[in-house]
Amino acid sequence: MPSRKKTSMFASAFCTCVGSFVVICVVLATPQWVSSEVRFSRSGTTVTVSLTYGLFSGTCEQFVDAGLQVSKTTFQVSEALSSSSSSSRSLVVATIVVLVLALLSSLLSAGFTCTNAVSNPYQTFLGPIGVYTWNSLCGVLTLIAMILFPVNVEGNSLSQELAHSCSSSLQTHLGSKHNYGYSYWIMLLILFLNIASLIIIYFYDHARYSKKKEQERPIENAPKDVILF
C-alpha cells in the first residue's frame, strides 16, 4: 500500500486531471468560441451579419443599415463549410481532433494518478513518468487547439465564409470584428490544471528522491560520535 503522503498528493493530482477532463468536455460542447460581426454591401445597403459559433454549431443574425433585424438562424459549421474553402473546414476538423486527443490524454493521466494513489505500480511508466507524459501531452495539445482556431478565424476568414451560408446575395466584404468567448478562454484553465498536476507530482517525486539520497548517505558523512559508537 502507498504511504499516506503519496496517496494524498496523487489524489490531489487526480482531482486536477478530472477537472481538466471536464473542462475539455465543456469546451467541445459549447458554441461560445467566438462572436463575429461581418459587414457586407448589398444593393446599396450595408448588411451586418452577427455570428456566434463553436466547433459544431452556431447562430447568426442579419442587420440592415440602421439596425433593422432581418432574421436569426441556427447553423451547423460542417454543413456551412461543405461548399466553402477546404482549408477552413480542415482546420476545424483538426481542432476537434486535437481536443479529442487532449481529452484522451487527460483521461489517461487521471487513470495513472488514481492507480498511484491506491497502489505502488512496479512499472516505471505507470509512476510519475507516465503522469508527466500524459499531462504534458494534454497541455501541448490544448495549446495547439488555442493556436489553430484563431488562425482559422483570422487567416482563413472563417466567419466570413459562415456569413455567406447564412445570407444570400452578399457582395463586397467591408470588414470584420471578432471577440473570443468563454468556450475559447477556459482552455487556459486546462493548461493551469495540467501545470498544477505536474507541480504536485514533481514535489512528491523530489521529496522521495531527497529521502532516498538521505538514506544512502555514505558513512564518512555521519557524525563522529555515531562512528565511534
Contact between residue 91 and residue 155 where contact means Cβ atoms under 8 Å apart: no
Is 198 within the bounds of a domain? yes
pLDDT band at 41 (very low <50, low <70, confident <90, very high): confident
- For residues 128 and 198, what is the distance between their CA atoms, to the nearest angstrom? 9
**Residue 101: HSE in the Cβ half-sphere, 13 Å Cα cutoff:** 16
Q: Is the pLDDT of residue 122 over 80?
A: no
The per-residue pLDDT for 85 is: 61
Q: Is residue 197 included in any domain, yes or no?
A: yes
Cβ-contact 165, 84 below 8 angstroms: yes
Number of domains comprising the chain:
1
Query: Pick the residue with more confidence: 36 or 216?
Result: 36
Q: Where do we find the cell 459549447?
A: 30
- Report which residue type is found at 162: L
pLDDT of 150 above 70 = yes
Look at residue 137 in the predicted model and tell me its pLDDT.
95
- Reported as a single tens digit per residue, the pLDDT across 69-92 is 667 788 888 888 876 567 888 899
Task: Tell me: pLDDT of 66 over 90.
Answer: no
Q: How far is CA 89 from the centre of its chain?
A: 19
Specify if 138 maps to a domain.
Answer: yes
Domain holding 72, by residue range, is 4-208
Domain CATH number, residue 184? 1.20.140
- Give pLDDT tens digits for 189-228: 999 999 999 998 888 776 665 555 555 555 445 555 544 4
Would you state the pLDDT for residue 218? 54
Residue 51 and residue 59 in contact, taking contact as beta carbons nearer than 8 Å? yes
pLDDT value of residue 10: 85
Q: How many residues does the chain have?
A: 229
The model's pTM: 0.84
Question: How many distinct helices (H) and strands (E) make up the chain?
Answer: 8, 5
The band of 144, judged by pLDDT with boundaries at 50, 70 and 90, is: very high
Rg (CA), the chain: 26
- Tell me what pLDDT residue 124 has: 74
